[in-house]
Amino acid sequence: MFIVDYIKTVFGGVKSLLVGMNRTGYYFFHHKEIITQQYPDVKQVLPERFRGEVVMIHDEKNEHRCTGCTACELACPNATIKIVTKFDITPEGKKKKALDTFVYHLELCTMCNLCIEACPTGAIKMDQTFEHSVYDRSLLIKILNKPGSKLMEGVE
Amino acid sequence: MIEEVAATTEGDLVINIGPQHPSTHGVLHLFVTMNGETIKKVEPHLGYIHRSIEKMDESLSYRQFIYSTSRMDYLSSHINNHGCALCVEKGLQLEIPPRAKVIRILMDELTRIASHCLWWGALAMDVGALTPFFHAFREREMINDIMEESCGARLTMNYMVPGGVMFDIQPNFQKHVKEFVAHFKTKIGEYDEMVTNNIIFQRRMKNVGYISPEDAVSYGCTGAVLRASGVKSDIRKIAPYDGYENVKFEEPLEMAGDCFARYMVRMKEMMQSLSIVEQLIDNIPEGDFVAKTKAVLKLPKGEFYSRVETARGEFGVYIVSEGGLTPYRIKFRSPGFSNLSALDHMSRGQKIGDLVAIMGTLDLVIPDIDR
């Protein structure tokens, strides 16, 4: 009986290998089911929610919605955002707190989306860019408000 | 530890596997004492990817600390976040909207399938089959695309927040999940053809790395490692959370306790997760996806513990609160650490080649072990 079992095992083994090789062979001749992408040539369209980096929304008049309330700075777990404020003088002659520079450290950011959730005015959003490699670390420190931009009217 | 190894008998060979070795799935360093090719002792040396997440979280608020748990067991980041959110909710005594609960379970189960897909491919590659890795990543890619669309990230989601989930699901989430379920059902047969029924694979797995139920319990193993020894240990069954009591699924058990049993438990778990997804995908209730919470969360003074079943086993979160803005102490019970402790017991007397197979079936994720 030992011999019979032995032969059965041998042929069973060979059969199991052939079944597996059959599957591999199927994909060898069915190129359409290959799913790899030719990345640098063909770029995938990323979904709207994809979190690549934080950007500030500016309209065509170069106005943003950031009041400099530092809610995002407090919500950030890694001290990625640093907000510098200044005092504007309103036409009535009163002092008003306003945004001076919105410093964003991309090298510290973990794309957790907590700053966007925290923002009361919807001034910042996540962008879909993902190719962030640069040759110098200092290039990753970004100022998000564009030069000459000011607060949109009606945003408190 | 070092002295013990120095006391090995003459003729023993001491080798280092890792920390830079592909089969250790990361920076695990194994100090293996061998007699010829037979393993006498395995000592895991940890600390290569220790980031002191627990200490770091003591300075973060209850909303902020959840993101760091995605970096622990990065293959089941949703489930880790879920455990933390549950613990904070327990402290706040928050009621979660039913829609958020269902979305959470759906995401958890999709993560579990994705994690097991990667484990399956990596295990096959560890024992010498290269092709299955690419087949597994094809299915995992579909789940990643679904996640990317609804959660905004592919690996470190940070989707579960105290009170629910961060975003509502995308309108075509249900369509894409249904497509995935139909696709996966046709492909799971291929997995069996290629790997499970393969004679070489079975010879590598059967009667290798045996652990008895008593030993598995005393080492603190959880998840598929414990269930492969025939002990019921699924947290989703023992202490159901967020509506797992309302879905029908089985807890796969195997009695053999060897590598093949662990393999079969995980393969069956994938099918069970798929059936949970099928049950819930058409029954997502309408309503809010997040409960209304205060802007600043403060837990009352006390101790809170919650546990969830990740793809690797039981994940526990223990928070000690002094009533402040940040936790006084946080402790994570990660499944990988306890499962790794049984590696020495499993691999004594086995051959060096089997060590890789045993490590593969333990499904180790090193950042989860070191934290």
Q: Is the pLDDT of residue A55 over 80?
A: yes
User: Is A16 in contact with B199 (Cβ distance < 8 A)?
Assistant: yes
- Chains A, B: CB contacts under 8 A, how many? 66
Q: How far is A15 from chain B (nearest CA, A)?
A: 9
Secondary structure element (H or E) that encloses residue A81, with its range? strand A81-89
> Residues of B at the A interface (Cβ-Cβ below 8 Å)?
60, 63-65, 67-68, 131, 138, 141, 148-153, 156, 158, 161, 166-167, 170, 190, 193-195, 197-200
- DSSP secondary structure, B257-320, as one string: -SHHHHHHHHHHHHHHHHHHHHHHHT----S-SB----SS--PPSEEEEEEEE-SSSEEEEEEE
For chain A, what is the domain count? Answer: 2
Strands A63-64 and A150-151: parallel
Q: Is A48 a domain residue? A: no
Domain match, A71 and A26 both = no
Instruction: Report the pLDDT value the prediction gives residue B8, as an integer from 0 to 100.
Output: 62
* Contacts with B, A 119-138, CB within 8 Å: 126
> Could you tell me the sign of the dihedral formed by the alpha carbons of B331, B333, B336, B339, in that order?
positive
Q: How far is A82 from chain B (nearest CA, A)?
A: 17
- What pTM value is reported for the model? 0.87
Q: Residue A117: which of B65, B166, B198 has the nearest Cβ?
A: B166
How would residue A130 be classed by pLDDT, with cut points 50, 70 and 90?
confident
CB B247 within 8 A of CB B105: yes
User: Is B67 in contact with A112 (Cβ distance < 8 A)?
Assistant: yes
Q: Is A126 a domain residue? A: yes
CATH number at residue A122: 3.30.70.3270
Domain match, A92 and A17 both = no
How would residue A94 be classed by pLDDT, with cut points 50, 70 and 90?
confident
How much is the average pLDDT of A89-107?
A: 81
Domain match, A26 and A72 both = no
Choose from A18, A51, A70 for mutation: most chain B CBs within 10 A: A51
Residue A49 at interface with chain B, using a CB cutoff of 8 Å: yes
Q: How far is A86 from chain B (nearest CA, A)?
A: 26
Instruction: Report the pLDDT value the prediction gives residue B3, as an integer from 0 to 100.
Output: 45
Query: A34: exposed, middle or buried (C-beta count within 10 Å: 0-12, 13-18, 19+)?
Result: exposed
Task: List the domain range (segments joined by +) for residue A6.
Answer: 2-33
What ipTM goes with this model? 0.79
Retrieve residue B329's tokens: 């102490």
CATH of B49-370, one of 1.10.1740.10, 1.10.3720.10, 3.40.30.10, 1.10.645.10: 1.10.645.10
Quote helix, strand, coil % in chain A, to nearest 5.
Answer: 30, 20, 45
Q: Listing from the earlier edge strand, what are the strands of the sheet with B302-309? A: B302-309, B314-321, B329-333
CB B341 within 8 A of CB B360: no
Nearest CA in chain A to B132: A24
Mean pLDDT for all residues in chain A: 83
Q: How far is B238 from chain A (nearest CA, A)?
A: 32
pLDDT along chain B (371 residues), means of 10: 53 83 80 86 87 89 88 88 90 88 90 91 86 86 88 86 86 88 87 83 86 90 89 88 87 88 90 89 86 83 90 90 88 89 87 87 87 81
How would residue A34 be classed by pLDDT, with cut points 50, 70 and 90?
low
